[in-house]
Structure 1
Amino acid sequence: MKLFLTTLAALALGTAAIAEPVKVGIASEPYPPFASPDAAGNWNGWEVEMIGAICAAAEMECVVTPVAWDGMIPSLKSGQIDAIMASMSITEDRLKEIDFSDKYYNTPTVVITAKGAGIAPTPEGLAGKILGVQVSTIHQDYVQTHFKDAEIKLYQTQDEANQDLVSGRIDATQADSIALDAFLATDEGACCENAGAVADDPSILGLGVGVGLRKGDDDLKAKFNAGIAKIVSDGTYDKLSAPYFPSSIYGG
C-alpha cells in the first residue's frame, strides 16, 4: 500500500511541488511506535508523521512506500524508492553504499530480558545466553562483534524476537531503546525489563538516524536537510514527538 502525504505548506503558499512525488521507503514490517499499519492498512506512527512534516517543510510531495527491511538499500539504489525513512542509522558501512541526510533522531541501544534474569548487557553478562536480533541491522553487526560468546539468533522482524523472549526461547534481545520501551509498555512486555544500554560503538551503531539517499542526489539531500532543520527550529518536531515520547529523541 502507498499512503500519499501532500505538502500542505506548498499548497498554502502556492508553491509548485516537484514534478514527481518523492517515494519514501519505510519498512513493511511493523516497528511501533515508529511505523505500523492499522486494521485498514493505513500506516501510522511517529516516523510516518515525521515524513509528512519534513516533506511539508521542504515543500515536497511525498508518498510512503513500504519495502521489506532487507531490500531497503537495494530498492533505493535501483530507483524503486527515492529515500529511506525507516529508523536507519548512519554508519560507516552504509555510507559506502548510500548517502544520508542530517540525523532526525538519536537514541540509545539497549538489551531487554525476562524480569529478574540478572543479565547485564555486556560480553560477560551475555556469554552463553541466547540473544535475538533483527537481521540486516546495526544490532546484528554489534552483537556479532561484541557478544561473540553469546548464541546469536536472527529474526526477520523485531516483533518475532520479542515474541520469542516472551515465550522463553531466547534470553535477551537487543534493539533501539524506543522500540523496546514501546514493547515493554504492552501487556505482553510486562514479562520483561530493560537490562540497560550497551557500550557505545559509533563505528557500528552510527551517528544517529538519517534519511537514506542515493549517492549524488544532492538536491534531494538539501531539501531533506532543510526540512529537518525547519521542523526542529519551529517546534514542530517536539510537538509531533510529545504524544509518543516523554522527552525529545532528537539527541545531542
Structure 2
Amino acid sequence: MKQIVKAAFVAAAVTTAGFTGAMAEEVKVGVAAEPYPPFTSPDASGKWVGWEVEFMEAICAEAKLDCVITPVAWDGIIPALTSEKIDMIVGSMSITEERLKTIDFSDKYYNTPTGIIGAKGDDFEATPEGLSGKILGVQVSTIHADYADKYFGETADEIKQYQTQDEVNQDLAAGRLDAVQADAIALDAFLKSDAGACCELKGNVADDPAILGAGVGVGLRKGDTELKDKINAAIAAIRANGTYEEFSKKYFDFDIYGG
C-alpha cells in the first residue's frame, strides 16, 4: 500500500506553557502495510484505524509531533528506519536483544502473550509435543518465526513462513495449516471473525524473553535520543492522565499494558 495518510491531531495544536503555536515537528511513523487488527488496519476509505493508531495519535499529540502514517512492508520496516525513510516504528514490534543490535526502542507500551490456534476438534497443546507432526504457520521476520524455529523445528512436520499474518490465517482457515503462532490479541481478533470460526486457541506458548522480548516498544534509530525522550515522556503521560486507559477500553476488556 503506497498511500500515506496524515493523522490529524487536534490536541497537538493546543497552546501550553513553553509552546506558542509553532509548527510541530513532522515525524514519519512506519506501520506494517498489511492489516493487523485490532492494532492497525485501513478502513474502507483508506484511513488507518485501530488500537495502535489511537496510541500513536495520543503520544504524538502529547509530544507535539506532526505524525504521518507511512505504510511499509513488514520485512523492510527496520531498513526503512535505519535509512531514514521513516522516523519511528509503531507496529507491535517486540523489544528483543537481536533487534537492539540494530535499532533502539522506547519504553514498553504493551505486552501480551504468544498463542497458538488450530482447527476446532483437533486436540493438541501449544507445546513441542503438541505440535509433533503438525504444519505450523508464522509470519516472516517476526519473533514468532524465530520462536517456532527454536522450539518446534524438530517436532513440527513443517514450519511455513508467510509475508503477512493475514495470509497465515487464510491458509489455516483453508485447511492448509494445522496451527498458527502469533500474538494472542491478533489471534483473538481473527477467531472472532467469520473466517476464524473454524478455529480456537490451543494455548499460549512457554515464555522465552530472549526471543519473545520484553514487551512492545516504539522502534527508533540509535542515537535519536531527543525523539526517544519525547516518546518516553509521552507514554508516561498518557498512562498517568488516563488517556491510555480510555482508548484501550474500546478494544479490550483487560489491561493490555501487561506485567
Please classify the TM superposition score into its range, dividing by the shorter chain length.
Answer: over 0.9
Query: Structure 1 18/130 Cα, relative in aligned 2: closer, same or farther at 3 Å?
Result: farther
Query: Structure 1 90/145 Cα, relative in aligned 2: closer, same or farther at 3 Å?
Result: same
TM-score by length of 2: 0.94
Q: CA deviation at 1:172?
A: 0.2
- 48, 56, 59: which one aligns with 1:51: 56
Q: Is the contact made by 2:25 and 2:64 (CA closer than 8 Å) also made in structure 1?
A: no
**Percent identity of paired positions between Structure 1 and Structure 2:** 65
Question: For 1:128 and 1:225, how far apart are their aligned partners in 2?
Answer: 44
Instruction: Tell me what 1:217 maps to.
Output: 224
- 117, 124, 134: which one aligns with 1:119: 124
Work out whether 1:106 is the aligned partner of 2:114: no
Query: Structure 1 218/128 Cα, relative in aligned 2: closer, same or farther at 3 Å?
Result: same
Question: For 1:128 and 1:243, how far apart are their aligned partners in 2?
Answer: 39
Instruction: Tell me what 1:94 maps to.
Output: 99
Work out whether 1:142 is the aligned partner of 2:166: no
Instruction: Tell me what 1:174 maps to.
Output: 181
Instruction: Tell me what 1:29 maps to.
Output: 34
Question: For 1:201 and 1:84, how far apart are their aligned partners in 2?
Answer: 23
TM-score by length of 1: 0.97
Question: For 1:156 and 1:33, how far apart are their aligned partners in 2?
Answer: 18
State the SS of the aligned residue for 1:22. Answer: strand
Instruction: Tell me what 1:191 maps to.
Output: 198
Q: Is the contact made by 1:6 and 1:56 (CA closer than 8 Å) also made in structure 2?
A: no
> What is the CA RMSD across the aligned residues, in angstroms?
1.2
Q: CA deviation at 1:65?
A: 0.6
Question: For 2:170 and 2:9, how far apart are their aligned partners in 1?
Answer: 38
Instruction: Tell me what 1:158 maps to.
Output: 165
Work out whether 1:247 is the aligned partner of 2:251: no
Instruction: Tell me what 1:4 maps to.
Output: 6
State the SS of the aligned residue for 2:200. Answer: strand
Question: For 1:167 and 1:246, how far apart are their aligned partners in 2?
Answer: 30
Q: Which moved more, 1:17-26 or 1:242-251?
A: 17-26
Q: What code does the residue aligned with 2:161 have? A: L
State the SS of the aligned residue for 1:62. Answer: strand
Q: Is the contact made by 2:24 and 2:65 (CA closer than 8 Å) also made in structure 1?
A: no
The runs of 5 or more residues in structure 2 that have no matched partner are none
Query: Structure 1 131/18 Cα, relative in aligned 2: closer, same or farther at 3 Å?
Result: farther
Write out the 4+ residue segments of structure 1 that deviate beyond 3 Å after TM superposition.
Answer: 16-20
Q: Which moved more, 1:10-19 or 1:229-238?
A: 10-19
State the SS of the aligned residue for 2:125. Answer: coil
State the SS of the aligned residue for 1:61. Answer: strand
The runs of 5 or more residues in structure 1 that have no matched partner are none
Q: CA deviation at 1:141?
A: 0.2
Q: What code does the residue aligned with 1:132 have? A: G
State the SS of the aligned residue for 1:124. Answer: coil
How far does the alpha carbon of each residue in 1:220-252 deviate from its partner, in whole angstroms, 9 at most, with x for none?
Answer: 000110111111111111110111111120011
Work out whether 1:229 is the aligned partner of 2:236: yes
